[in-house]
Chain A
Amino acid sequence: MENRTTTGASIHWAAEMHAQEYRDGKLSRREFLARATALGVAVPAAYSMIGLAAPARAATPVSQGGTLRIQMEVHGLREPRLYEWSEHGNITRGWLEYLIHYNNDGSFTPVLAESWETSDDAKTITIHLRQGVKWNNGDPFTADDVVHNFNLWCDGTVEGNSMATRMGPLVDPDTKKAIEGGIVAADEHTVVLNLPAPDITILAGIADYPAAVTHPSLNGGNPVDNPIGTGPYMPESYSVGEKAVIVRNPDHTWWNEGNGAYVDRVEFIDYGTDPATVMAAVEAEEVDMTYESIGEFIDILDGLGMVRSEAATAATIVTRPNQSAEVDGKKPYEDPRVRRALAMAVDNAIVLELGYAGRGKPAENHHVSPIHPEYAELPPLVVDPAGAMALMKEAGMENYEHELISLDDGFEKDTTDAVAAQLRDAGFKVNRKVLPGSTFWNDWDKYPFSSTTWNQRPLGVQVLTLAYKSGVPWNETGFNNEEFDKTLTDASAIADADKRRVLMKRLEEIMQEEGVIIQPYWRSIYNHSRPGLVNAEMHAQFEIKYQYIGFAE
């Protein structure tokens, strides 16, 4: 089979090894695909390496034209690297494209990057760009543009730039900007990343929603005001909280012309956060697809004749004590015994049943999912309310009244209620507090004890780096553990998932031993679309690629 890698180079040794592991039954199909494609193997080739045919793109012929109406919250927009909601990325996805795309089966497909290779020591990443791509103002899309974007992403001096965390060793810890010589345009269509330390998460990071590739002229502005991008669409109007209208750009030839950009007009309509209102909108035939269908409304929307689509994910909800939070001058969750007692009292399977109607899989309190390639299986968790109380007494905290905070919204509230109920069953005093979204997110990482939802990330080390490494911006648990940090740094340098798993096992154990989080379950996520809508399936990272959605002929 010719052109088996995305670059045409020979297949990475590790990919061949993973194929053997798949045949030996050590890897699942999804894990194999995630690893092989991250190493630069083309998706069809990856499937053929393990003797499978690649899934064909939807065979249904799609008609040109029409208006697609999508229910989704329309948040105030800003420059892409500051995006904090998947919704932000979905709006601009039609004109601001990404280098690579993450698929539901765990693989990566090329978009503006045509191919990429990781060196054997995982210290050099070569990205080959698609040729013949033009910005919609006529400028050619070149390696310089990509270097410019990497520099933007690496700039940690900009408040709220979450891409800087995803860029790992490319960011100089002193200047908080890109390291010298780290990002090089080798020729007009090749970008080489020279990392001082191996890092395997960068490729996954540039597939995430804040990594939209912008034109240099955006200059920190709002992409709606200055809509220069490579994609086939452009914004027509944007009213925060109400509606965003995106239309096909008539003056631009898209690089993928003919394989998408079916509808003429896309409307994102904001129906607020109440799923009952969304249901009313579906009944009134005002929307064609939902952003996400939640809880009991999944069945109700089924009943209204909508087509349900499910994506199994590593998205989750975490009920966590904050170890550094002070309550009345004390740090109630500083003692690992208190945290372990809390986790011990909660049966995750029951929380899944009560809080999310069983639509997912129970999790193991370490935030690494079985769909992550380096997942290591640990002995099952023991639920022991009596033991939990004993441990709490040992810590002298049995009379402490825990205030458990959550968002006042669907499953977040129900799940936290279920956790609270089990803590009460174990004999702890728990006071529940629900906050509306506008208040909750202001201090989400500061609350002493609260629930937070986390979207999925393709690799296990990514999640841990983002949320549990000491002092990182999104560390909401206040977790600060030297052994954990060191092991995590080591693990993040190992491209091979099997070798990484050895360290990951230890990381997972630390998470459990320290009682860092109560993580009840992994969520499956759902959306609904009208019959006849093509490519409107749920994406595991909530991406809506409307340039590929259309109405069946």
Chain B
Amino acid sequence: MGVFFLRRLGTMLLTALVLTFIVFFLTNLQPNLEKVAKFEGNARMTDAEVASWLEKRGYTQPLLKRYGEWLGVSKGWTYTSDEGRVTGRCIRDNIPAEEAPQRCGLLQGDWGQSSVFKVSAGKVVSEKLALTGRLMLWVMLLMVPLALIVGILAGMREASVLDRTLSTFSIVTTATPEYVSGVIFIAVFTSSAVGLKWFKGTATQAMENPTFENFFLPVLTIALYGMGYIARMTRASMTEVMTAQYIRTARLKGVSFGNIVMKHALRNALIAPFTVIMLQFPWLLNGVVIVETLFNYKGFGWALVQAAGNNDIQLLLAISVVSVFVVLVTQLISDIGYVYLNPRIRIS
């Protein structure tokens, strides 16, 4: 078990290192740097101004040197202006140049400054992750039980009327993308045009003060889309289990149908949906982009769009690290989960 964890941790670190280097390389291509300069300096700067802006901020150093700065293994850049004022990567928060640390990168716990949000990238990521985490929590709480119930009900008697009805429902929800269902929900449930006005059409206030009224629609929009998929997987798995030899044996021995479903079929039928559910975490982390934009809920997905749109190097790197972490941790959990669902699987 210990070796297994260590190996997983090693994979995680290596993946993060490779991925961040790729992101670093792509975000530091020359046109992207010009974009950074124009975004941070002034959108209407001339080429000469851009060049001098980049030079004064250490962007003209070799790529590997700057990647090293980000990691915290090489010294941060400094620049001395004509008037003798020293600026540098590690010189900020009114700390004089002499006292500022020489290195400030990931190893020193410093995620760098986000150019879009003007605060530490680590702070942005943790705040946004908390907001999206809250959205994800409610989505999971709504989506998973609903999907399992629908899937099991549909799968326990294949081809029954109940199965056909529920299957149609799950296919329809999965086939409707969020940007369609979200817009329909907003139009029907929030606008004066229809007149229902049950909910709020934006979730902006939900960032500080989530209520059923302003938070339910985004949750429902995501949950419905993901639900059909899990329900279909559960149904397939359930129908397969229900035709297994041991279920027939149980029936012949006179076990009641309810008991067969709850005690004998359910646990075996949950293995496949469990993987799918765990895979929903990474999907949710980035798949919420559309819903967050639609409902103006400023979480992780929205931050990712802002960072990518404005080539916010530090923030994109921080987001990559977090994404690698989330994907691998959830997969780790699902691997461990299998052991409990299926005793034949061993972690070695």
Contact = CB atoms under 8 A, between A and B. Distances in A.
Given A76-B118, A444-B43, A159 B49 contact: yes
B297 to A, nearest CB: 10
Interface string A267-295: 00101100001001101101000000000
Given A239-B117, A442-B38, A84 B298 contact: no
Interface stretch (A307-315, A337-345, A433-441, A538-546): A433-441
Q: Which residue, B39, B43, B207, has most C-beta atoms of chain A within 10 A?
A: B43
Interface in A429-461: 436, 438-439, 441-442, 444-445
Interface string A367-397: 0000000000000000000000000000000
A9 interface: no
A235 to B, nearest CB: 13
Given A76-B118, A473-B45, A473-B46, A439 B202 contact: no
B42 A438 contact: no
B298 A241 contact: yes
Given A239-B117, A280-B190, A281-B202, A473 B38 contact: no
Interface size class on chain A is 20 to 34
A444 B39 CA distance: 12
Contacts of B214: 284
Contacts of A76: 40, 115-118
A441 B39 CA distance: 9
Contacts of A159: 41-42, 45, 49-50, 52-53
A3 interface: no
A160 interface: yes
B204 A269 contact: yes
Given A286-B202, A438-B309, A240 B45 contact: no
Contacts of A438: 309-310
Interface string B41-64: 111111001101100000000000
Contact of A277 (B197, B296, B306): B296
B45 A272 contact: no
A228 interface: no
Interface string A342-374: 000000000000000000000000000000000
A271 B46 contact: no
Given A281-B202, A283-B190, A271 B296 contact: yes
A242 B190 CA distance: 22
A84 B296 contact: no
Contacts of B301: none
Contacts of B117: 76, 239-241
A222 interface: yes
A242 B202 contact: no
B256 interface: no
B293 interface: yes
Contacts of B40: 76
A438 B39 CA distance: 9
Contacts, number: 94
B201 A280 contact: yes
A186 interface: no
A304 interface: yes
Contacts of B49: 159-160, 473
A441 B43 contact: yes
A541 B153 CA distance: 62
A111 interface: no
A162 interface: yes
A242 B207 contact: yes
B34 interface: yes
Contacts of A239: 117
A241 B190 CA distance: 24
A160 B214 CA distance: 41
A51 B42 CA distance: 46
Interface string B288-300: 0000010010100
B192 A283 contact: yes
A469 B41 CA distance: 23
Nearest to A474: B44
A146 interface: no
A193 interface: no
A277 B191 CA distance: 12
B200 interface: yes
Contact of B202 (A160, A162, A284, A304): A284
B41 to A, nearest CB: 5
B309 A286 contact: no
A82 B41 contact: yes
B166 interface: no
Contact of B309 (A269, A280, A439): A439
A303 B310 CA distance: 36
A77 interface: yes
B44 A473 contact: yes
B186 interface: yes
B44 A84 contact: yes
Q: By CB atoms of chain B within 10 A, which of A77, A277, A304, A441 has the most?
A: A277
A84 B43 contact: yes
B205 interface: yes
Contacts of A281: 201-202, 204, 296
A439 B49 CA distance: 19
Interface in B303-331: 306, 309-310
Interface string A53-68: 0000000000000000
Contacts of B309: 436, 438-439
Given A280-B202, A286-B204, A442-B34, A272 B296 contact: yes
A162 B42 contact: yes
A113 B341 CA distance: 77
A286 B296 CA distance: 12
B296 A284 contact: no
Contacts of B53: 159-160
B35 interface: yes
Nearest to A161: B42
Interface in B3-58: 34-35, 38-46, 49-50, 52-53
Interface string A110-145: 000000000000000000000000000000000000
Interface centre among B45, B52, B116, B306 (most CB of A within 10 A): B45
A296 to B, nearest CB: 13
Given A283-B190, A442-B34, A442-B35, A240 B116 contact: yes
A304 B195 CA distance: 12
B201 to A, nearest CB: 3
Given A284-B202, A473-B46, A242 B41 contact: no
A281 B297 CA distance: 12
B306 A241 contact: yes
A77 B115 CA distance: 11
14 contacts: A76-B118, A82-B42, A84-B44, A159-B41, A159-B53, A160-B45, A240-B116, A240-B118, A272-B296, A284-B190, A436-B309, A438-B309, A444-B44, A445-B44
Interface of B: 34-35, 38-46, 49-50, 52-53, 115-118, 186, 190-192, 197, 200-202, 204-205, 207, 214, 293, 296, 298, 302, 306, 309-310
Interface of A: 76-77, 82, 84, 159-162, 222, 239-242, 269, 271-272, 277, 280-281, 283-284, 286, 303-304, 436, 438-439, 441-442, 444-445, 473-474
Given A240-B116, A271-B296, 19 more contacts: A159-B42, A159-B53, A162-B42, A222-B118, A239-B117, A240-B117, A242-B298, A269-B204, A281-B201, A284-B205, A303-B192, A438-B309, A438-B310, A441-B38, A441-B43, A442-B34, A442-B39, A473-B46, A474-B44
